[in-house]
Protein backbone atom coordinates (compact mmCIF):
# COMPACT_ATOMS: atom_id res chain seq x y z
CA UNK A 1 0.00 0.00 0.00
CA UNK A 2 1.32 3.46 -0.96
CA UNK A 3 2.47 5.47 2.03
CA UNK A 4 1.78 9.15 2.67
CA UNK A 5 5.16 10.36 1.44
CA UNK A 6 4.74 8.65 -1.91
CA UNK A 7 1.20 9.97 -2.29
CA UNK A 8 2.37 13.55 -1.78
CA UNK A 9 5.24 13.08 -4.21
CA UNK A 10 3.01 11.45 -6.85
CA UNK A 11 0.42 14.23 -6.69
CA UNK A 12 3.05 17.00 -6.98
CA UNK A 13 4.76 15.29 -9.91
CA UNK A 14 1.53 14.66 -11.85
CA UNK A 15 0.32 18.25 -11.41
CA UNK A 16 3.60 19.54 -12.85
CA UNK A 17 4.42 16.85 -15.38
CA UNK A 18 1.20 16.24 -17.32
CA UNK A 19 0.52 19.83 -18.55
CA UNK A 20 4.19 20.42 -19.34
CA UNK A 21 4.58 17.21 -21.32
CA UNK A 22 1.32 17.80 -23.23
CA UNK A 23 2.32 21.27 -24.39
CA UNK A 24 5.83 20.10 -25.17
CA UNK A 25 4.58 17.25 -27.34
CA UNK A 26 2.37 19.59 -29.40
CA UNK A 27 5.26 22.01 -29.92
CA UNK A 28 7.61 19.19 -30.92
CA UNK A 29 5.22 17.80 -33.55
CA UNK A 30 4.62 21.22 -35.11
CA UNK A 31 8.34 21.97 -35.21
CA UNK A 32 9.00 18.58 -36.79
CA UNK A 33 6.51 19.17 -39.61
CA UNK A 34 7.91 22.65 -40.30
CA UNK A 35 11.46 21.28 -40.41
CA UNK A 36 10.47 18.50 -42.83
CA UNK A 37 8.83 21.01 -45.15
CA UNK A 38 11.88 23.28 -45.11
CA UNK A 39 14.22 20.33 -45.66
CA UNK A 40 12.13 19.13 -48.63
CA UNK A 41 12.43 22.54 -50.29
CA UNK A 42 16.19 22.67 -49.71
CA UNK A 43 16.75 19.13 -50.99
CA UNK A 44 14.57 19.73 -54.05
CA UNK A 45 16.61 22.80 -54.96
CA UNK A 46 19.89 20.93 -54.39
CA UNK A 47 19.06 17.85 -56.47
CA UNK A 48 17.65 20.03 -59.27
CA UNK A 49 20.87 22.04 -59.29
CA UNK A 50 23.01 18.90 -59.49
CA UNK A 51 20.74 17.50 -62.22
CA UNK A 52 21.19 20.63 -64.35
CA UNK A 53 24.92 20.80 -63.75
CA UNK A 54 25.41 17.11 -64.62
CA UNK A 55 23.54 17.55 -67.91
CA UNK A 56 25.55 20.68 -68.71
CA UNK A 57 28.82 18.90 -67.87
CA UNK A 58 27.86 15.94 -70.07
CA UNK A 59 26.94 18.17 -73.01
CA UNK A 60 30.23 20.08 -72.71
CA UNK A 61 32.25 16.86 -72.69
CA UNK A 62 30.37 15.44 -75.69
CA UNK A 63 30.76 18.71 -77.58
CA UNK A 64 34.55 18.64 -77.15
CA UNK A 65 34.75 14.98 -78.18
CA UNK A 66 32.65 15.73 -81.29
CA UNK A 67 35.08 18.51 -82.19
CA UNK A 68 38.01 16.10 -81.98
CA UNK A 69 36.12 13.37 -83.86
CA UNK A 70 35.55 15.72 -86.82
CA UNK A 71 39.29 16.19 -87.43
CA UNK A 72 40.37 15.22 -90.91
CA UNK A 73 43.42 13.51 -89.37
CA UNK A 74 41.13 11.01 -87.66
CA UNK A 75 38.73 10.59 -90.58
CA UNK A 76 41.60 10.10 -93.05
CA UNK A 77 43.25 7.53 -90.78
CA UNK A 78 39.96 5.64 -90.33
CA UNK A 79 39.31 5.77 -94.07
CA UNK A 80 42.77 4.36 -94.69
CA UNK A 81 42.18 1.71 -91.99
CA UNK A 82 39.04 0.48 -93.78
CA UNK A 83 40.70 0.27 -97.21
CA UNK A 84 41.14 -3.24 -98.59
CA UNK A 85 44.47 -4.81 -97.69
CA UNK A 86 45.81 -4.74 -101.27
CA UNK A 87 45.14 -1.01 -101.47
CA UNK A 88 46.85 -0.51 -98.09
CA UNK A 89 49.90 -2.34 -99.45
CA UNK A 90 49.96 0.00 -102.43
CA UNK A 91 49.59 2.95 -100.09
CA UNK A 92 52.40 1.62 -97.89
CA UNK A 93 54.62 1.44 -100.93
CA UNK A 94 54.06 5.16 -101.36
CA UNK A 95 55.48 5.66 -97.79
CA UNK A 96 52.07 6.72 -96.39
CA UNK A 97 51.87 6.55 -92.54
CA UNK A 98 50.30 3.52 -90.90
CA UNK A 99 46.66 4.46 -90.06
CA UNK A 100 46.73 2.97 -86.54
CA UNK A 101 49.96 4.81 -85.77
CA UNK A 102 48.49 8.00 -87.19
CA UNK A 103 45.40 7.65 -84.96
CA UNK A 104 47.55 6.94 -81.89
CA UNK A 105 49.68 10.01 -82.61
CA UNK A 106 46.54 12.13 -82.98
CA UNK A 107 45.11 10.80 -79.70
CA UNK A 108 48.37 11.55 -77.89
CA UNK A 109 48.37 15.09 -79.26
CA UNK A 110 44.78 15.73 -78.13
CA UNK A 111 45.32 14.15 -74.72
CA UNK A 112 48.44 16.23 -74.07
CA UNK A 113 46.34 19.36 -74.47
CA UNK A 114 43.17 18.22 -72.63
CA UNK A 115 43.86 17.20 -69.03
CA UNK A 116 40.41 15.82 -68.05
CA UNK A 117 40.95 12.80 -70.31
CA UNK A 118 42.43 9.72 -68.71
CA UNK A 119 42.46 7.86 -72.03
CA UNK A 120 41.38 8.41 -75.62
CA UNK A 121 40.32 5.45 -77.73
CA UNK A 122 39.30 4.73 -81.31
CA UNK A 123 36.95 1.86 -82.14
CA UNK A 124 36.07 0.68 -85.63
CA UNK A 125 32.51 0.61 -86.93
CA UNK A 126 32.01 -2.81 -85.31
CA UNK A 127 33.05 -1.66 -81.83
CA UNK A 128 36.55 -3.18 -81.93
CA UNK A 129 39.34 -1.20 -80.23
CA UNK A 130 42.01 -0.23 -82.78
CA UNK A 131 43.94 2.64 -81.13
CA UNK A 132 44.34 4.15 -77.67
CA UNK A 133 46.49 6.56 -75.70
CA UNK A 134 48.05 5.81 -73.33
CA UNK A 135 48.53 2.21 -74.46
CA UNK A 136 49.93 0.78 -71.21
CA UNK A 137 46.67 0.80 -69.25
CA UNK A 138 43.52 -1.29 -69.36
CA UNK A 139 41.08 0.23 -71.78
CA UNK A 140 37.36 0.58 -71.29
CA UNK A 141 35.05 -1.26 -73.65
CA UNK A 142 31.94 -0.01 -75.36
CA UNK A 143 28.65 -0.96 -73.70
CA UNK A 144 26.68 -3.78 -75.28
CA UNK A 145 24.01 -1.39 -76.55
CA UNK A 146 26.47 1.10 -78.03
CA UNK A 147 24.98 0.91 -81.52
CA UNK A 148 21.47 1.44 -80.15
CA UNK A 149 22.67 4.49 -78.20
CA UNK A 150 24.43 5.85 -81.25
CA UNK A 151 21.35 5.52 -83.44
CA UNK A 152 18.96 7.01 -80.86
CA UNK A 153 21.09 9.71 -79.20
CA UNK A 154 24.07 10.18 -81.56
CA UNK A 155 26.36 9.46 -78.62
CA UNK A 156 27.52 6.62 -76.39
CA UNK A 157 27.58 6.70 -72.60
CA UNK A 158 29.47 3.86 -70.94
CA UNK A 159 30.02 2.89 -67.34
CA UNK A 160 31.76 4.78 -64.56
CA UNK A 161 35.08 3.16 -63.67
CA UNK A 162 37.11 3.55 -60.49
CA UNK A 163 40.65 4.93 -60.72
CA UNK A 164 43.59 4.76 -58.34
CA UNK A 165 44.42 8.45 -58.37
CA UNK A 166 42.89 11.43 -56.64
CA UNK A 167 40.99 12.43 -59.79
CA UNK A 168 38.13 10.09 -58.96
CA UNK A 169 36.10 7.86 -61.27
CA UNK A 170 36.06 8.03 -65.04
CA UNK A 171 33.19 7.83 -67.50
CA UNK A 172 33.48 6.47 -71.03
CA UNK A 173 31.88 8.79 -73.61
CA UNK A 174 31.85 8.16 -77.34
CA UNK A 175 30.74 9.89 -80.54
CA UNK A 176 30.70 8.74 -84.13
CA UNK A 177 33.52 9.51 -86.52
CA UNK A 178 31.82 9.78 -89.90
CA UNK A 179 32.58 10.66 -93.47
CA UNK A 180 30.16 12.17 -95.95
CA UNK A 181 30.75 9.38 -98.43
CA UNK A 182 31.64 6.40 -96.25
CA UNK A 183 29.13 6.87 -93.39
CA UNK A 184 30.19 5.53 -89.98
CA UNK A 185 33.96 5.06 -89.92
CA UNK A 186 34.41 4.41 -86.22
CA UNK A 187 33.92 5.68 -82.68
CA UNK A 188 36.06 8.23 -80.85
CA UNK A 189 35.85 7.40 -77.14
CA UNK A 190 37.21 9.27 -74.15
CA UNK A 191 37.55 8.22 -70.53
CA UNK A 192 36.65 11.52 -68.82
CA UNK A 193 37.52 12.24 -65.20
CA UNK A 194 34.28 12.80 -63.32
CA UNK A 195 35.73 14.66 -60.33
CA UNK A 196 34.16 17.85 -61.69
CA UNK A 197 30.73 16.39 -60.98
CA UNK A 198 31.75 15.49 -57.43
CA UNK A 199 33.04 19.05 -56.99
CA UNK A 200 29.69 20.39 -58.17
CA UNK A 201 27.85 18.19 -55.66
CA UNK A 202 30.17 19.28 -52.87
CA UNK A 203 29.68 22.95 -53.75
CA UNK A 204 25.91 22.44 -53.74
CA UNK A 205 26.14 20.89 -50.27
CA UNK A 206 28.28 23.78 -49.07
CA UNK A 207 25.79 26.32 -50.44
CA UNK A 208 22.68 24.52 -49.16
CA UNK A 209 21.74 26.23 -45.94
CA UNK A 210 21.04 23.81 -43.16
CA UNK A 211 22.51 20.69 -44.81
CA UNK A 212 25.99 20.76 -43.33
CA UNK A 213 28.38 17.85 -43.40
CA UNK A 214 25.69 15.28 -42.55
CA UNK A 215 24.14 15.45 -46.03
CA UNK A 216 25.29 13.25 -48.92
CA UNK A 217 24.72 13.81 -52.63
CA UNK A 218 25.07 10.83 -54.95
CA UNK A 219 24.71 10.10 -58.63
CA UNK A 220 23.23 6.62 -58.90
CA UNK A 221 22.30 4.22 -61.68
CA UNK A 222 18.70 3.18 -62.14
CA UNK A 223 19.55 -0.18 -60.56
CA UNK A 224 20.73 1.49 -57.35
CA UNK A 225 24.50 1.37 -57.87
CA UNK A 226 26.42 4.38 -56.59
CA UNK A 227 28.26 6.03 -59.47
CA UNK A 228 29.54 9.18 -57.76
CA UNK A 229 29.09 10.39 -54.21
CA UNK A 230 30.27 13.08 -51.82
CA UNK A 231 30.44 10.47 -49.07
CA UNK A 232 33.86 9.68 -47.62
CA UNK A 233 35.25 6.48 -49.24
CA UNK A 234 34.40 3.51 -47.09
CA UNK A 235 31.35 5.13 -45.46
CA UNK A 236 27.96 3.51 -46.20
CA UNK A 237 25.57 5.48 -48.39
CA UNK A 238 21.82 5.25 -48.64
CA UNK A 239 21.85 4.31 -52.32
CA UNK A 240 21.03 0.64 -51.77
CA UNK A 241 18.97 -1.36 -54.21
CA UNK A 242 16.20 -2.15 -51.72
CA UNK A 243 15.51 1.59 -51.24
CA UNK A 244 15.53 2.68 -54.90
CA UNK A 245 11.95 1.57 -55.78
CA UNK A 246 10.45 3.66 -52.98
CA UNK A 247 12.54 6.65 -54.04
CA UNK A 248 11.61 6.26 -57.72
CA UNK A 249 7.91 6.04 -56.85
CA UNK A 250 8.18 9.39 -55.08
CA UNK A 251 10.52 11.58 -57.17
CA UNK A 252 11.04 14.98 -55.62
CA UNK A 253 9.51 13.82 -52.33
CA UNK A 254 11.09 13.10 -48.97
CA UNK A 255 11.35 9.39 -48.21
CA UNK A 256 12.45 8.06 -44.83
CA UNK A 257 14.13 4.66 -44.84
CA UNK A 258 16.71 2.58 -43.02
CA UNK A 259 20.06 1.72 -44.55
CA UNK A 260 21.72 -1.68 -44.33
CA UNK A 261 23.93 -0.39 -41.53
CA UNK A 262 20.84 0.39 -39.44
CA UNK A 263 21.04 4.19 -39.80
CA UNK A 264 17.74 5.93 -40.58
CA UNK A 265 18.02 8.63 -43.25
CA UNK A 266 15.78 11.05 -45.13
CA UNK A 267 16.34 11.06 -48.88
CA UNK A 268 15.06 12.66 -52.08
CA UNK A 269 15.68 11.38 -55.60
CA UNK A 270 15.43 13.17 -58.95
CA UNK A 271 15.89 11.17 -62.20
CA UNK A 272 18.13 12.70 -64.86
CA UNK A 273 16.01 13.04 -68.04
CA UNK A 274 17.01 10.85 -71.01
CA UNK A 275 19.80 9.15 -69.06
CA UNK A 276 19.86 6.06 -66.78
CA UNK A 277 20.95 8.17 -63.84
CA UNK A 278 19.33 9.81 -60.87
CA UNK A 279 20.50 12.35 -58.29
CA UNK A 280 19.98 11.31 -54.68
CA UNK A 281 20.35 13.54 -51.66
CA UNK A 282 20.11 12.09 -48.19
CA UNK A 283 20.69 13.19 -44.63
CA UNK A 284 20.85 11.32 -41.38
CA UNK A 285 17.54 11.62 -39.60
CA UNK A 286 19.19 12.10 -36.21
CA UNK A 287 21.24 15.03 -37.58
CA UNK A 288 18.17 16.53 -39.26
CA UNK A 289 16.19 16.60 -36.04
CA UNK A 290 19.16 17.36 -33.80
CA UNK A 291 18.11 20.96 -33.11
CA UNK A 292 14.49 20.29 -32.25
CA UNK A 293 15.46 17.22 -30.27
CA UNK A 294 17.92 19.40 -28.39
CA UNK A 295 15.09 21.84 -27.72
CA UNK A 296 12.92 18.93 -26.65
CA UNK A 297 15.61 17.74 -24.28
CA UNK A 298 16.00 21.26 -22.93
CA UNK A 299 12.25 21.45 -22.34
CA UNK A 300 12.37 18.10 -20.61
CA UNK A 301 15.22 19.37 -18.47
CA UNK A 302 13.17 22.41 -17.47
CA UNK A 303 10.19 20.20 -16.69
CA UNK A 304 12.37 17.87 -14.70
CA UNK A 305 13.76 20.87 -12.87
CA UNK A 306 10.28 22.01 -11.93
CA UNK A 307 9.35 18.50 -10.92
CA UNK A 308 12.49 18.34 -8.81
CA UNK A 309 11.70 21.60 -7.03
CA UNK A 310 8.12 20.61 -6.31
CA UNK A 311 9.25 17.15 -5.37
CA UNK A 312 11.73 18.63 -2.92
CA UNK A 313 8.97 20.71 -1.35
CA UNK A 314 6.80 17.62 -1.10
CA UNK A 315 9.71 15.66 0.22
CA UNK A 316 10.35 18.38 2.83
CA UNK A 317 6.74 18.09 3.95
CA UNK A 318 7.10 14.33 4.27
CA UNK A 319 10.66 14.22 5.53
CA UNK A 320 11.50 11.94 8.36
CA UNK A 321 9.53 9.05 6.89
CA UNK A 322 11.79 6.08 6.18
CA UNK A 323 14.54 8.52 5.18
CA UNK A 324 17.55 6.63 6.55
CA UNK A 325 16.45 3.35 4.98
CA UNK A 326 15.83 5.07 1.67
CA UNK A 327 19.34 6.52 1.65
CA UNK A 328 20.86 3.18 2.50
CA UNK A 329 18.83 1.38 -0.18
CA UNK A 330 19.79 3.92 -2.84
CA UNK A 331 23.45 3.71 -1.87
CA UNK A 332 23.37 -0.08 -2.10
CA UNK A 333 21.86 0.19 -5.58
CA UNK A 334 24.61 2.60 -6.69
CA UNK A 335 27.30 0.23 -5.47
CA UNK A 336 25.60 -2.63 -7.31
CA UNK A 337 25.84 -0.50 -10.47
CA UNK A 338 29.61 -0.10 -9.89
CA UNK A 339 29.45 3.46 -8.51
CA UNK A 340 31.99 3.45 -5.68
CA UNK A 341 31.90 7.24 -5.20
CA UNK A 342 28.71 7.03 -3.18
CA UNK A 343 28.78 8.13 0.46
CA UNK A 344 25.90 8.13 2.91
CA UNK A 345 25.64 11.18 5.22
CA UNK A 346 25.72 10.01 8.84
CA UNK A 347 23.15 12.13 10.69
CA UNK A 348 22.14 9.72 13.44
CA UNK A 349 23.89 8.01 16.34
CA UNK A 350 21.63 5.00 16.63
CA UNK A 351 21.80 1.61 14.88
CA UNK A 352 20.98 3.12 11.46
CA UNK A 353 23.75 5.69 11.90
CA UNK A 354 26.20 2.92 12.80
CA UNK A 355 25.06 0.91 9.76
CA UNK A 356 25.59 3.94 7.51
CA UNK A 357 29.11 4.45 8.90
CA UNK A 358 30.02 0.79 8.39
CA UNK A 359 28.62 0.93 4.85
CA UNK A 360 30.74 4.01 4.02
CA UNK A 361 33.89 2.31 5.37
CA UNK A 362 33.16 -0.80 3.33
CA UNK A 363 32.71 1.18 0.10
CA UNK A 364 35.89 3.21 0.77
CA UNK A 365 37.96 0.05 1.34
CA UNK A 366 36.49 -1.54 -1.77
CA UNK A 367 37.40 1.54 -3.82
CA UNK A 368 40.98 1.54 -2.49
CA UNK A 369 41.36 -2.17 -3.22
CA UNK A 370 40.14 -1.68 -6.77
CA UNK A 371 42.57 1.22 -7.32
CA UNK A 372 45.47 -0.94 -6.13
CA UNK A 373 44.45 -3.79 -8.42
CA UNK A 374 44.14 -1.45 -11.41
CA UNK A 375 47.61 -0.06 -10.71
CA UNK A 376 49.13 -3.54 -10.40
CA UNK A 377 47.49 -4.61 -13.66
CA UNK A 378 49.18 -1.83 -15.66
CA UNK A 379 52.61 -1.36 -14.03
CA UNK A 380 55.62 -3.66 -14.25
CA UNK A 381 56.53 -4.24 -10.61
CA UNK A 382 60.29 -4.40 -11.24
CA UNK A 383 60.86 -1.36 -13.47
CA UNK A 384 57.75 0.69 -12.58
CA UNK A 385 57.17 1.12 -16.30
CA UNK A 386 54.00 0.21 -18.15
CA UNK A 387 53.68 -3.53 -18.51
CA UNK A 388 53.15 -5.17 -21.86
CA UNK A 389 49.34 -5.10 -21.66
CA UNK A 390 49.19 -1.41 -20.74
CA UNK A 391 51.75 -0.46 -23.38
CA UNK A 392 49.82 -2.32 -26.07
CA UNK A 393 46.69 -0.41 -25.09
CA UNK A 394 48.60 2.87 -25.54
CA UNK A 395 49.93 1.52 -28.85
CA UNK A 396 46.42 0.70 -30.08
CA UNK A 397 45.22 4.16 -29.06
CA UNK A 398 48.09 5.73 -31.03
CA UNK A 399 47.11 3.73 -34.12
CA UNK A 400 43.52 4.92 -33.82
CA UNK A 401 44.68 8.55 -33.51
CA UNK A 402 46.90 8.06 -36.56
CA UNK A 403 44.00 6.69 -38.61
CA UNK A 404 41.91 9.78 -37.72
CA UNK A 405 44.76 12.31 -38.01
CA UNK A 406 47.71 10.83 -39.97
CA UNK A 407 50.56 12.39 -38.02
CA UNK A 408 53.64 10.16 -37.90
CA UNK A 409 54.78 8.37 -34.80
CA UNK A 410 57.68 5.99 -34.24
CA UNK A 411 58.51 2.92 -32.20
CA UNK A 412 61.81 2.06 -30.51
CA UNK A 413 62.71 -1.56 -29.69
CA UNK A 414 65.50 -1.58 -27.08
CA UNK A 415 67.41 -4.68 -26.01
CA UNK A 416 70.16 -4.72 -23.36
CA UNK A 417 73.32 -6.25 -24.81
CA UNK A 418 74.78 -9.38 -23.16
CA UNK A 419 72.07 -9.38 -20.50
CA UNK A 420 72.31 -13.15 -20.09
CA UNK A 421 76.03 -12.81 -19.36
CA UNK A 422 75.21 -10.30 -16.58
CA UNK A 423 72.71 -12.71 -15.04
CA UNK A 424 75.10 -15.66 -15.29
CA UNK A 425 78.10 -13.74 -13.96
CA UNK A 426 76.59 -11.54 -11.26
CA UNK A 427 73.23 -13.14 -10.53
CA UNK A 428 69.64 -12.29 -11.29
CA UNK A 429 69.51 -9.56 -8.66
CA UNK A 430 72.22 -7.74 -10.57
CA UNK A 431 70.18 -8.22 -13.73
CA UNK A 432 67.19 -6.69 -11.94
CA UNK A 433 69.33 -3.69 -10.97
CA UNK A 434 70.34 -3.27 -14.63
CA UNK A 435 66.69 -3.38 -15.73
CA UNK A 436 65.71 -0.74 -13.17
CA UNK A 437 68.66 1.43 -14.18
CA UNK A 438 67.80 1.28 -17.89
CA UNK A 439 64.13 1.94 -17.12
CA UNK A 440 64.99 5.10 -15.20
CA UNK A 441 67.18 6.32 -18.09
CA UNK A 442 64.34 5.72 -20.55
CA UNK A 443 62.01 7.82 -18.44
CA UNK A 444 64.59 10.60 -18.23
CA UNK A 445 65.22 10.68 -21.98
CA UNK A 446 61.58 10.65 -23.12
CA UNK A 447 58.70 13.10 -22.93
CA UNK A 448 55.55 12.95 -20.87
CA UNK A 449 53.50 12.28 -24.03
CA UNK A 450 55.67 9.28 -24.96
CA UNK A 451 54.89 5.76 -23.76
CA UNK A 452 57.62 3.57 -22.27
CA UNK A 453 57.02 -0.05 -21.39
CA UNK A 454 58.74 -3.31 -20.66
CA UNK A 455 58.12 -5.70 -23.54
CA UNK A 456 59.57 -8.76 -21.87
CA UNK A 457 62.88 -9.91 -20.37
CA UNK A 458 65.51 -7.32 -21.17
CA UNK A 459 63.50 -5.72 -24.02
CA UNK A 460 61.78 -2.34 -23.79
CA UNK A 461 59.46 -0.46 -26.14
CA UNK A 462 59.21 3.32 -26.51
CA UNK A 463 56.35 4.93 -28.45
CA UNK A 464 57.28 8.43 -29.64
CA UNK A 465 54.10 10.37 -30.35
CA UNK A 466 54.06 12.71 -33.39
CA UNK A 467 57.70 11.90 -34.16
CA UNK A 468 58.94 10.93 -37.60
CA UNK A 469 61.71 8.42 -38.24
CA UNK A 470 64.48 11.00 -38.49
CA UNK A 471 63.61 12.59 -35.15
CA UNK A 472 63.07 9.17 -33.58
CA UNK A 473 66.57 8.16 -34.66
CA UNK A 474 67.96 11.18 -32.79
CA UNK A 475 66.03 10.21 -29.64
CA UNK A 476 67.17 6.60 -29.95
CA UNK A 477 70.79 7.66 -30.28
CA UNK A 478 70.43 9.89 -27.22
CA UNK A 479 69.04 6.95 -25.26
CA UNK A 480 71.81 4.66 -26.46
CA UNK A 481 74.57 7.07 -25.47
CA UNK A 482 72.99 7.72 -22.07
CA UNK A 483 72.89 3.97 -21.38
CA UNK A 484 76.43 3.39 -22.62
CA UNK A 485 77.76 6.37 -20.68
CA UNK A 486 76.34 5.33 -17.31
CA UNK A 487 77.22 2.73 -14.70
CA UNK A 488 74.97 0.43 -12.72
CA UNK A 489 75.93 0.43 -9.05
CA UNK A 490 75.14 -2.97 -7.56
CA UNK A 491 76.70 -3.90 -4.19
CA UNK A 492 79.72 -1.73 -4.90
CA UNK A 493 80.15 -3.23 -8.35
CA UNK A 494 80.00 -0.68 -11.18
CA UNK A 495 78.65 -2.39 -14.27
CA UNK A 496 78.60 -0.71 -17.66
CA UNK A 497 75.92 -1.87 -20.07
CA UNK A 498 75.01 -1.04 -23.63
CA UNK A 499 71.87 -1.44 -25.69
CA UNK A 500 70.93 -2.13 -29.29
CA UNK A 501 67.99 -0.11 -30.58
CA UNK A 502 65.73 -0.62 -33.58
CA UNK A 503 63.73 2.36 -34.86
CA UNK A 504 60.60 2.09 -37.02
CA UNK A 505 58.26 4.83 -38.22
CA UNK A 506 54.60 4.05 -38.96
CA UNK A 507 54.48 3.24 -42.66
CA UNK A 508 50.84 3.89 -43.50
CA UNK A 509 47.22 3.61 -42.51
CA UNK A 510 47.13 -0.11 -43.28
CA UNK A 511 50.11 -1.06 -41.09
CA UNK A 512 49.12 -3.04 -38.02
CA UNK A 513 50.56 -2.95 -34.54
CA UNK A 514 52.27 -6.31 -35.02
CA UNK A 515 53.83 -5.26 -38.34
CA UNK A 516 55.36 -2.11 -36.84
CA UNK A 517 56.75 -4.07 -33.86
CA UNK A 518 58.17 -6.67 -36.25
CA UNK A 519 59.99 -3.99 -38.27
CA UNK A 520 61.43 -2.42 -35.14
CA UNK A 521 62.43 -5.87 -33.86
CA UNK A 522 64.24 -6.71 -37.11
CA UNK A 523 66.05 -3.39 -37.01
CA UNK A 524 67.11 -4.11 -33.41
CA UNK A 525 68.48 -7.53 -34.35
CA UNK A 526 70.30 -5.95 -37.27
CA UNK A 527 71.93 -3.58 -34.76
CA UNK A 528 73.10 -6.61 -32.77
CA UNK A 529 74.46 -8.28 -35.91
CA UNK A 530 76.40 -5.13 -36.73
CA UNK A 531 78.23 -5.26 -33.39
CA UNK A 532 75.68 -4.15 -30.74
CA UNK A 533 75.63 -0.77 -28.96
CA UNK A 534 74.18 0.94 -31.99
CA UNK A 535 70.96 2.26 -33.45
CA UNK A 536 69.46 1.02 -36.73
CA UNK A 537 66.53 2.48 -38.68
CA UNK A 538 64.01 0.00 -40.05
CA UNK A 539 63.48 -0.03 -43.77
Tell me phi and psi for residue 240, to 5 degrees.
-115, 145
**Confidence band of 446 (pLDDT split at 50, 70, 90):** very high
- Contact at 8 Å (CB) between 82 and 100? no
Q: Which CATH number fits domain 322-378: 3.20.20.70, 3.30.360.10, 2.40.50.100, 1.10.8.500?
A: 1.10.8.500
Please state which of the ranges 18-32, 48-62, 142-156, 442-456 shows the lowest mean pLDDT. 18-32
Tell me: the pLDDT tens digits for 381-414? 899 999 999 999 999 999 999 999 999 999 999 9
Ranges in the chain annotated CATH 3.30.70.270: 388-537
Give the pLDDT confidence score for residue 330 in this predicted structure: 74
CB 132 within 8 A of CB 122: yes
Reduced to 3 states (helix: H, G, I; strand: E, B; else coil), residue 36 is helix
What is the structure's pLDDT at 526? 96
pLDDT of the residue at 5: 63
Q: What is the pLDDT of residue 340?
A: 72
Over the stretch 168-192, which tens digit does the pLDDT of each residue have?
A: 588 889 999 987 666 888 999 998 8
Distance from C-alpha of 412 to C-alpha of 535, rounded to nearest angstrom: 10
The answer to whether the peptide bond before residue 134 is cis (omega within 30 degrees of 0) is: yes
pLDDT reading at 261 higher than 60:
yes
- CATH match for 388-537 among 2.40.50.100, 3.30.70.270, 3.30.930.10, 3.40.50.300: 3.30.70.270
pLDDT at 331 over 60: yes
The answer on pLDDT for 251 being more than 70 is: yes
Q: Say how far residue 515 (Cα) sits from the centre of its chain.
A: 21
Report whether pLDDT(480) > 90. yes
Q: What is the CATH number of domain 70-196?
A: 3.30.450.20
| Beta-carbon-side half-sphere exposure of residue 101 (alpha carbons within 13 Å) | 4
pLDDT at 2: 64
Average pLDDT over residues 466-495: 91
Name the range with the highest mean pLDDT among 161-175, 218-232, 478-492: 478-492
- Say what the pLDDT of residue 436 is: 93
Q: Which of 468, 466, 458 is nearest to 501 (CA)?
A: 458
State mean pLDDT over 219-246: 69
- pLDDT beyond 80 at 23: no
pLDDT digits (tens, 9 = 90+) for 51-78: 888 888 888 988 998 998 888 888 888 8
Q: Of the spans 195-204, 216-225, 342-351, 425-434, which averages the highest pLDDT?
A: 425-434
Q: What is the pLDDT of residue 466?
A: 92
User: Highest-confidence range of 66-70, 90-94, 534-538, by mean pLDDT?
Assistant: 534-538
In angstroms, the Cα distances linking 96 to 76, 110, 182, 209 are 12, 22, 20, 62
94-134 pLDDT tens trace:
556 789 998 988 888 888 887 678 889 999 988 899 999 88
pLDDT at residue number 238: 42
- How much is the pLDDT for 414? 96
Residue 320 has pLDDT above 80, yes or no: no
Distance in angstroms (rounded) separating the CA atoms of residues 174 and 334: 71
Residue 368's pLDDT band, with cuts at 50, 70 and 90, is: confident
Higher pLDDT, 469 or 367: 469
CATH 3.30.450.20 domain range(s) in the chain: 70-196
Instruction: Specify the pLDDT at position 239.
Output: 47
Q: What is the mean pLDDT of residues 458-477?
A: 94
- Provide the mean pLDDT of the chain: 82
Amino acid sequence: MMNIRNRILLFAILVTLLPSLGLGWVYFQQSKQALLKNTANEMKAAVSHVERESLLWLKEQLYEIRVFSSSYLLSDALTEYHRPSDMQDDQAADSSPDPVRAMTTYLALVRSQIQPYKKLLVFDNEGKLIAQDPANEDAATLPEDWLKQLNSRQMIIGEFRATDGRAGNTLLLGVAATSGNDGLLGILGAEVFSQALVDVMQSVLAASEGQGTNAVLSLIADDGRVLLSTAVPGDPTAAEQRNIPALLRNPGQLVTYERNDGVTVVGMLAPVPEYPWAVLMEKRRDALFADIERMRNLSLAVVLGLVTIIGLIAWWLARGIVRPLGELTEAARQVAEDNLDIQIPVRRKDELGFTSKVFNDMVRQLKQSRARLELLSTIDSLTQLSNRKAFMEDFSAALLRYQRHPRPFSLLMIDIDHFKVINDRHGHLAGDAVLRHVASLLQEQTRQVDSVGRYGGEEFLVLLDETDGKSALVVAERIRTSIAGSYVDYQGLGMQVTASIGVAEIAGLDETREQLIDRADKAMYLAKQQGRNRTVMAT
